[in-house]
Chains A and B, each alone.
Chain A
C-alpha cells in the first residue's frame, strides 16, 4: 500500500468510519434524541462522500468568473447535496416532532421504557417482558 494510495483514499476511509459511528449510535443507543443525532452524523458523512467524489485536484469552485482555461470542480454533486441538506433538516424536524409527541404520550424518550409500557398495556401487569 503506497503513500499515494493512502492519500488518494484517505477521505473515503474517514467517511466510512464516520458513517459507521453514526450507524452505531442509531443501533446501540436507546435515547431517541441520541438516535436522531446519530442519523444526522450518518447523513453528513454521505454528503462528505459525494463532495469528495466531485473534487478535482487543483481546481476552483464551479463559478465561471475566473476566466478561460481554469479547472473547475464537478458542480453536479454540489447541486444534489445542497438540496439534500435543506430537505435533511426538514425531515429531521419531523422526527423531532414525533419524539416530542412520544414524550407527551409515554413520559419518556428511552426506547426500552416505551417498549415496557407498550408491553404492559397489551398484556396487563405482572407478565414479564
Chain B
C-alpha cells in the first residue's frame, strides 16, 4: 500500500503556520532593535508551539509554549538590560561569504530531502519500528495512557536522568558566571566577586 499525500485541513493549517514561521524568522534577521528581535523570537516560539499541536505533539507544544515563548523571552530581556539595546549595522562585505556558504549548504540539504519519505507517511521507517513498538507495549507494560510520559520516565529513564543533570549543570554554570547576587544573607546587591 503506497501512501499518497493529499491536501486536507491539517495540512493546510500546517502550510500556513510554516509560512508565518518563515516570515518571523526573516524579520529576526532584518531587525536591528534588539528588543523587537527578542519579542519576534517569542512570537516565533509560540507559532512553532501551534505547529506542534497541529502535528499531534501536544506535550512538545506545551513545553515550547511555556519555555520558548515564556521563560526564554524573560531571560533574553534580562540579558538585554545588562548588555545593549541596538545592534551595529552589518556591512554587506561581511555578509557575502556567509550567504554563499548558507546557499550551498541549503541546496545540499534540500537535495537530500528528495529521498525522504513523504510527510505523514504511516509506513516510513521512522514510524514503523521502535516508535510504534512503544505504542503497543505501553498499555500492558507500563499502563499509563500518555505514552510520551511512559517512554520519557520509564523506557528512557536513563536518558531523562542525563537531561536533568544537564539542566542542573547549566543552572550551576550560570550561577558560577553571574552569581545569585545575594547568597547567604549578606548585604544585598553585593556581587560575589567583590568579596573574593
Residues of A whose CB lies within 8 Å of any CB of B are 4-5, 7-14, 16-25, 27-34, 36-38, 40-41, 44, 47-48, 51-65, 71-79, 81-83, 85-94, 96-101, 103-104, 108-110
Contact = CB atoms under 8 A, between A and B. Distances in A.
A41 B117 CA distance: 24
A97 B82 CA distance: 10
A9 B179 CA distance: 47
B92 to A, nearest CB: 10
Given A18-B21, A48-B51, A85 B60 contact: yes
Contacts of A101: 177-178
Contacts of A88: 67
Given A16-B106, A21-B29, A64-B147, A82 B60 contact: yes
Contacts, number: 288
Contacts of B4: 4
Contacts of B131: 54, 74-77
Given A4-B118, A7-B11, A53-B126, 5 more contacts: A28-B95, A34-B87, A51-B55, A56-B122, A89-B72
Nearest to A9: B113
Interface of B: 3-7, 11, 14-15, 18-19, 21-22, 25-26, 28-29, 34, 37-38, 41, 44-45, 48, 51-52, 55-60, 63-64, 67-68, 71-72, 75-76, 78-80, 82-84, 87-88, 90, 94-95, 97-99, 101-103, 105-106, 109-110, 113-114, 116-122, 124, 126-127, 130-132, 134-135, 138-139, 145-148, 151-152, 156, 159-160, 163, 166-167, 170-171, 173-174, 177-178
- Nearest 5 pairs between A and B by C-beta? A8-B118, A57-B120, A90-B170, A27-B98, A74-B131
